[in-house]
């Protein structure tokens, strides 16, 4: 969605509509401001809501390694709004380049930096490369979008570090075919409007780039810190709560902490990654646990994650898939990626719409959802008092 | 789209992609700040663009009858962003009502006022009524969305005043079946957060309503005033330019003013309405005129509008259609409305997607694009200096 291949409504479903037949489910939209663990109440939207069992699954935001001021120049991708922001920035950069006469400024407008070589960064860089080389071909008169530079910066030794090495190498090859340059061992030391400072092999460099997108670092929702302060639970570096083996808050078996907010050690000793599969399996586990408690049956044992593998799509007809027992790349990997994502999209109607949209995109290399939805105005100057 | 039946990308197409094969068309996205009619140059995005023929078609915005301060509390519907804003306000009002315990405030949250009984107001009021009675049924636990009050305010004697009287009466009947109350002879005298002041048969009343949507009044783009100041052309009450019979600026046969910006007198003596059909026919006319001038052929005569009729949809399977020689209502009118709108949607792909989405909505009475895309935060307080 961030690069215009799909629309927001294609991939998200209104929670209320999904749950409308569960008459014992009430959906309330409001901000949780406090927990009263002793009284077993959540304070949300100014109201005290009593609970027998509480499930906290407020997810995570991006993390800028102690530099929250980078966020305005390097937006991350976690929510639908983030994706709309990215779409607007990327498409606006091409628009502004078409208007720009100064060659250096034009090149900066056509330089896209993606920070972080995990699956998010790889997918973003691939999508921008594909857009520049195929989708926008012939759309401009003064610039050639294919001259856009897309740089994928990774501080570590290789991109997709949690995948087998040969998949990392394959991803670099597939990305370079889309005009993406992968720079490993490259750490970001500063983000300013118009340029990014990096350290590479001990040298400091400045790269002029109008558009910087953040695909690195994740920090748990502030509700994790609040819960930890109330319960004495420990948090890890990313602010996630170290839960019990049954996904509950230490000392509070009636409070489950699930998904990206939880630091859960896999049976292999590594913490589970912040991906949808982990959150979905934890959700099922908590439901089983609650059902067992309510009905008086024996509760299930500790939570065990069944890793179904991981995958990242790089571009049209290209993806890397790690199933543990086997790997897939290229066209086959892409078909697997497509299939899995369709299966998990939440509404039947969305599946048909997305399948149609993807089929259309595949044939035309187009991205219909290329809307720049914002008024074309310079941003308001900040308030005099710095707000 | 304003009420979640369709997504932005379903109904809008990126101009660049539509025009990509016209190699002699350059699309530039920037704000026009001035015209130099003597030198034949447009100043846009800081650049001077020379022309032989200039077509200005910058459309119109809503008009608040001298009360621009009403806009923030009563948004209008002209752009994709306007529609997103309306969608958010309407859906958020139901969300807040579900959280509200005070009966009076809850009723105000469930009161929706649509100002203006033209086609836009009628379609909006009908869509909100249908949403409250059908789409949201069973989605809430504390409120019954069908208790929502939808009021359509019209200052004149009847809604759809440009339609035959029997169609106005039919629209009132169809709207009331969707729970919409039509109040004619009701002029808005004030809009504040939380209530609307009106005058009805000489009496002042205050209606408590959280959501007010503006479907009245239209004012031409400020570029019309700029062009008028430069050329000495006259403007009408709505700020539209009184053009020559060939749609050009008086004294400047090389400058065409088309669409909602132009006040063009129909052969019957009435000014043409600000609808898509007028703009499209004017566009074709200007193209014929330019072709004739370039090729040296005889130019076409003055512009004549062929009125294909007008139509407004009221809800699922209900619309009023005035073709001049005949009228249609109810299911038949709705089918005609559907067909015409599909024909004019600009991309083939959009037609398929919209048809599928509409078919789905028809069967399920659902609105999949019911996304509240905004961060759930209270608005920033204004700057201390009032900006």
Alpha helices by DSSP H, B315-347: 330-344
> What whole-number distance in Å separates Cα of residue B326 and Cα of residue B321?
8
Q: How many helices (H) and strands (E) does chain B have?
A: 10, 20
pLDDT at B12: 57
**CA dihedral in degrees (A14, A16, A22, A25; nearest 10)?**
130
A142 touches chain B (CB under 8 A): yes
Asked if B168 and B160 count as a contact pair (C-beta separation under 8 A), the reply is yes
The whole-number average pLDDT for the span A188-204 is 92
Contacts of A12 in chain B (CB under 8 A): 371
* Residue B5 reports pLDDT greater than 60: no
| DSSP state, residue A68 | G
A338: three-class secondary structure by DSSP = helix
pLDDT higher than threshold 80 for residue B386: no
Q: Are strands A149-153 and A180-183 parallel, antiparallel or unpaired?
A: parallel
Q: Is this complex's ipTM strictly greater than 0.90?
A: no
Question: Is residue B168 scored above 90 in pLDDT?
Answer: yes
Token code pair at residue A381: 């100057």
Residue labelled with tokens 């119109």: B60
Please report residues of B whose CB lies closer than 8 A to that of A142.
26
From the candidates A368, A381, A384, A386, which should be mutated to test the interface with B, based on the most B CB atoms within 10 A?
A368
SS3 B82: helix
Structure confidence at residue B19 (pLDDT): 86
Q: Say which CATH class A68-216+329-364 falls into.
A: alpha beta
Q: DSSP class of residue B271? A: B
**Among B175, B59, B75, residue whose Cα is nearest residue B117:** B175
Compute the distance between CA of residue B155 and CA of residue B146 in angstroms, rounded to an integer: 26
Least confident segment among A211-215, A266-270, B257-261: A266-270
Given a contact cutoff of 8 angstroms between Cβ atoms, the answer to whether A206 and A213 are in contact is: no
- A221 touches B: beta carbon within 8 Å: no
Q: Is the pLDDT of residue B377 over 50?
A: no
Beta strands in A193-333 (DSSP E): 195-200, 203-208, 211-214, 218-220, 241-242, 248-249, 252-257, 262-263, 310-315, 318-322, 327-328
Q: Output the pLDDT for position B309.
A: 83
Instruction: Let me know if the fold of A8-59+219-295 is the same as that of A68-216+329-364.
Output: yes
Identify the pLDDT of residue B7. 59
Provide, as residue numbers in chain A, all residues whose Cβ is less than 8 Å from the Cβ of B31.
376-377
**Alpha-carbon distance A145 to A106, whole Å?**
11
Would you call A355 an interface residue with chain B, using a CB distance cutoff of 8 Å? no
Q: Are B262 and B247 in contact (CB under 8 A)?
A: yes
Nearest by CB to A28, which of B8, B21, B99?
B99
Measured between CA atoms, the residue of chain A closest to residue B382 is A383
pLDDT above 60: residue A303 = yes
Q: Which fold has domain B72-216?
A: FAD/NAD(P)-binding domain (3.50.50)
**Position with higher pLDDT, A296 vs B376:** A296
d(CA B75, CA B193) in angstroms, rounded, equals 12
Q: What is the pLDDT of residue B356?
A: 63
Domain boundaries, chain A: 8-59+219-295, 68-216+329-364
Q: In the CATH scheme, what is the homologous superfamily, with its name and number, of domain A8-59+219-295?
A: FAD/NAD(P)-binding domain (3.50.50.60)
The pLDDT tens digits of the residues spanning A119-137 come to: 889 989 998 998 898 888 8
Cβ of residue A380 closer than 8 Å to a chain B Cβ: yes
Residue listed under structure tokens 């949780």: A32
Predicted structure pTM score: 0.80
The answer to whether B385 faces chain A, any CB pair under 8 Å, is yes
| pLDDT tens, position by position, B240-260 | 999 999 999 999 999 999 999
Rounded Cα gap, residues A374 and A81, in angstroms: 12
Task: Supply the pLDDT for residue A138.
Answer: 87
Active site residue B254: no
Examine the pLDDT at B41 and tell me if it is beyond 90: yes
Contacts of B27 in chain A (CB under 8 A): 98, 139, 141
Neighbour count for residue B302 (Cβ, 10 Å) = 12
Q: Which residues of A touch B370 (CB under 8 A)?
A: 9, 14, 17
Rounded CA separation B102/B188 (Å): 27
For B381-385, which contacts have Cβ atoms below 8 Å and span 24 or more sequence positions? B383/A383, B383/A384, B383/A385, B383/A387, B384/A383, B384/A384, B384/A385, B385/A383, B385/A384
Mean of the per-residue pLDDT values for chain B?
A: 85
- Check CB contact under 8 Å for B139 and A384: no
Task: Report the percent of chain A where pLDDT is more than 90.
Answer: 50
Which long-range CB contacts under 8 A does B42-49 form with residues at least 24 apart? B45/A99, B47/A99, B47/A101
| Statement: residue A213 has pLDDT above 70 | yes
- B262-294 pLDDT tens trace: 999 877 777 888 888 899 999 999 999 999 999
Q: Is the pLDDT of residue A275 over 70?
A: yes
Contact A99 B353 (CB under 8 A): no
Q: Are strands B252-257 and B54-56 parallel, antiparallel or unpaired?
A: parallel
CA distance B102 to B139: 20
Is A13 in Cβ contact with B368 (below 8 Å)? yes
| Strand-pair category, B41-44 with B47-50 | antiparallel
DSSP 8-state assignment for residue B385: T
Q: Is A158 on the interface with B (CB under 8 A)?
A: no
pLDDT at A346 over 70: no
For residue A88 the two structure tokens come to 């607007």
**B141 in contact with A at a CB cutoff of 8 Å?**
yes
**Chain A contact set for B22 (CB, 8 A):** none
- What local confidence, expressed as pLDDT, does residue B357 receive? 66
- Distance between CA atoms of B177 and B192, rounded to whole angstroms? 29
Task: Tokens for A285, please give them.
Answer: 């586990």
Q: Transcribe B230-243 into DSSP letters.
A: HH---B-TTS-EE-
Phi then psi dihedrals of residue B205, to 5 deg: -135, 155
Q: Out of A16-30, A331-345, B179-193, give the one with best mean pLDDT.
A: B179-193
- In the CATH scheme, what architecture does the domain B31-62+219-295 have? 3-Layer(bba) Sandwich (3.50)
Instruction: Indicate which of B1, B10, B11, B14 best probes the interface with A, i.e. most A CBs within 10 Å of its own CB.
Output: B14
Is B85 at the interface with chain A, CB within 8 A?
Answer: no
State mean pLDDT over A19-43.
92
Q: Is the pLDDT of residue A11 over 80?
A: no
Contact A8 B371 (CB under 8 A): yes
Q: How would DSSP label each residue in A362-375? A: HHH---TT----S-
Other CB atoms within 10 Å distance of the CB of residue B280: 13
Which of A162-166, A289-293, A308-312, B380-384: highest mean pLDDT?
A289-293
**Residues B309-358: pLDDT tens digits?**
888 888 777 889 888 888 989 888 888 887 877 777 665 556 666 666 66
> What number of other Cβ atoms are within 10 A of residue A305's Cβ?
17
Q: Which of A152-156, B143-147, B349-353 has the lowest mean pLDDT?
A: B349-353
């Amino acid at each position: 969605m961030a690069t215009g291949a799909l629309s927001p409504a294609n991939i998200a479903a209104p929670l209320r509509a999904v749950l409308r037949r569960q008459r014992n489910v009430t959906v309330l939209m409001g901000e949780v401001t406090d927990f009263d663990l002793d009284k077993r109440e959540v304070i949300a939207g100014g109201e005290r809501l009593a609970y027998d069992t509480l499930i906290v699954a407020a997810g995570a935001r991006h993390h800028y390694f102690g530099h929250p001021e980078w966020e305005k120049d390097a937006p991350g991708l976690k929510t639908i709004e983030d994706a709309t922001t990215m779409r607007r920035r990327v498409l606006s950069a091409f628009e502004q380049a078409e208007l720009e006469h100064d060659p250096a400024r034009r090149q900066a407008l056509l330089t896209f930096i993606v920070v972080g070589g995990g699956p998010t960064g790889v997918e973003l860089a691939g999508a921008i490369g594909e857009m520049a080389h195929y989708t926008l071909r012939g759309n401009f008169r003064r610039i050639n979008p294919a001259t856009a530079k897309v740089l994928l910066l990774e501080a570590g030794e290789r991109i997709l570090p949690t995948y087998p090495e040969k998949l990392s190498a394959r991803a670099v090859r597939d990305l370079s075919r889309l005009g993406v340059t992968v720079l490993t061992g490259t750490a970001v030391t500063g983000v300013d409007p118009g340029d990014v400072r990096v350290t590479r092999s001990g040298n400091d460099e400045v790269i002029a780039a109008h558009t910087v997108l953040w695909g690195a670092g994740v920090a748990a929702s502030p509700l994790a810190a609040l819960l930890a302060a109330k319960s004495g639970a420990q948090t890890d570096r990313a602010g996630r709560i170290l839960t019990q083996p049954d996904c509950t808050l230490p000392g509070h078996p009636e409070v489950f902490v699930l998904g990206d907010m939880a630091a859960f050690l896999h049976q292999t000793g590594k913490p589970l990654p912040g991906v949808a599969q982990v959150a979905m399996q934890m959700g099922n586990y908590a439901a089983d646990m609650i059902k067992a408690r309510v009905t008086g049956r024996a509760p299930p044992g500790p939570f065990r994650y069944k890793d179904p593998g991981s995958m990242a799509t790089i571009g049209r007809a290209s993806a890397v898939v790690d199933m543990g027992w086997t790997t897939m790349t290229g066209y086959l990997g892409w078909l697997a990626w497509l299939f899995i994502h369709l299966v998990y999209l939440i509404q039947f109607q969305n599946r048909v719409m997305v399948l149609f949209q993807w089929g259309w995109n595949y044939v035309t290399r187009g991205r219909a959802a290329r809307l720049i939805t914002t008024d074309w105005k310079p941003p308001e100057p900040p308030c005099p008092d710095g707000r």
